[in-house]
Amino acid sequence: MRVMLDTNILVSAFVFKSKKMKELIYKLSKEHKIVICSYTIEELKELIETKFKVNPQYLDEFLKDFPFELVYSPTNIEKNYLKLEIKMIILFCIQQ
């Protein structure tokens, strides 16, 4: 099974290195395929640099040794979604 990790899990694994988190990642990597999207990686990099003030080089080293498949996230999806949402609201208002 493919298991997608979000930013919160990755922050916990990178910043708050606990024994339980290491065990969880190990178990996931042995029994499943870990998947991380490119958007999550970018969000993680931003958080690490701004909130936790960690050198991004350490994150690169962490990710290099982390067992995961990288999945590309389209960058313009949010803008298109907002446009669609606005159009739907306008259509709803017109129909009322």
CATH architecture entry for 2-95:
3-Layer(aba) Sandwich (3.40)
Alpha carbon separation from 14 to 7, 27, 34, 67, 85 (Å, rounded): 10, 17, 15, 13, 36
Tokens, residue 96? 């009322």
pLDDT tens digits in sequence order for the chain, 96 residues long: 889 999 999 999 999 888 998 899 999 999 999 999 998 999 999 999 999 998 989 999 999 989 999 998 877 655 555 566 666 666 666 654
**Domain range list for the chain:** 2-95
- pTM (2 d.p.): 0.72
